[in-house]
Amino acid sequence: MSGKPTVGEYMTRDVETVSPDETVGEVARRMAESDGHNGFPVTQGRTVEGFVSAADLLLAADEAPVFTVMSDDLIVAHPKMKVTDAARVILRSGIQRLPVVDDADNLVGIISNTDVVRSQIERATPSKVGKLMRTLEQIHGVALTEERREVELTALTPTQARVYADELEGRQYELERGLAEPLVVIDNGGTLHLADGHHRVMAAHEAGIDEMDAYVIVPDHPVDLGMAKTAEKEGLDDITDIEIVDYARHPLVETTKRLQ
């Protein structure tokens, strides 16, 4: 993953589309029955020919074909485009979703304003991993390597005692769409300490997922980690020891509500 997030890293790849020949009535029903969709790319094969929104359907006859009401003045993004640039387009154009096309103008995904927001929070970036590695090197005077690998969730030792149920909803959204960030794990002599990603892990565990992608930091010899002491003090042996708090909101949500 690059230092600056790209559209390709945060777009949804499984895109629901409609055909130009589908009727307004058919598309309106699909939109009403969908999970929060307020518009669809209109495609012929893999080529994007337009975009149809709920507003486009409002005053149209049910039997009218979609190509007669869709917008063909297309604004699209490219997978290598920076998310910040896509955000500017979304803001200035007033649309909520950008179809993403490759160099051959084939549809490869869609990026929404929600994805833009998500790209700016709780990111497991190489710079974040690098900062943790530098901290460990300074504290313990140990040589470290970093690798990318799949880790079994049952093998993880958590270092955070509780997660918030309302936060899990966002993580479940990411998992369902293949958008979850990698975990950050420290392999300390074979013991896998979960340094970052507790909400992601619990959302995955509840969804029946056994393994997740992770940045794994490996010291050249075992060290006395402060997070290991925290885990021991909290009685955390595996992820089933993490408490899911459903009687209180995440502190950030609670603070926002108080400000309101």
What is the C-alpha to C-alpha distance for residues 122 and 179, in angstroms, rounded to an integer? 12
Contacts of 157 (CB under 8 A, 6+ apart): 191, 192, 193, 194, 228, 231, 236, 237, 238
What is the C-alpha to C-alpha distance for residues 36 and 52, in angstroms, rounded to an integer? 15
Q: Which residue is listed with tokens 């230092």?
A: 3
- The boundaries of every CATH 3.10.580.10 domain in the chain are 7-115
User: What CATH class is the domain 142-245?
Assistant: alpha beta
Fold of 7-115: CBS-domain (3.10.580)
pLDDT band at 96 (very low <50, low <70, confident <90, very high): confident
Query: Residue 3 has what pLDDT?
Result: 59
Q: Tens digit of pLDDT for each residue in 193-213?
A: 999 999 999 999 999 999 999
- Helix 198-206 to helix 165-176 angle (10° resolution) is 70
Residue of 51, 61, 75 whose CA lies nearest to 26: 61
Ranges of H-type helices in 58-206: 83-93, 113-118, 126-140, 165-176, 198-206
Q: Which amino acid makes up residue 47?
A: T
What is the C-alpha to C-alpha distance for residues 121 and 205, in angstroms, rounded to an integer? 22
pTM beyond cutoff 0.75? no
Compute the average pLDDT of residues 29-49.
Answer: 88
232: burial class by Cβ within 10 Å (0-12, 13-18, 19+)? exposed
What is the C-alpha to C-alpha distance for residues 258 and 247, in angstroms, rounded to an integer? 17
Angle ∠(182,207,124) on CA atoms, nearest 5:
15
Contacts of 85 (CB under 8 A, 6+ apart): none
Q: Tens digit of pLDDT for each residue in 179-197?
A: 778 899 999 999 999 999 9
What is the C-alpha to C-alpha distance for residues 139 and 197, in angstroms, rounded to an integer? 22
pLDDT above 90 coverage of the chain, percent: 51
- Select the highest-mean-pLDDT range: 96-100, 182-186, 230-234: 182-186
Query: Residue 253 has what pLDDT?
Result: 43
- The boundaries of every CATH 3.90.1530.10 domain in the chain are 142-245
Query: Residue 74 has what pLDDT?
Result: 84
Query: Residue 76 has what pLDDT?
Result: 92
Q: Tens digit of pLDDT for each residue in 110-136?
A: 998 877 876 765 555 666 788 889 999
pLDDT band at 48 (very low <50, low <70, confident <90, very high): very high
Q: Is pLDDT above 80 for 94?
A: no
Question: Hey, which residues does 144 pair with through a beta bridge?
Answer: 219
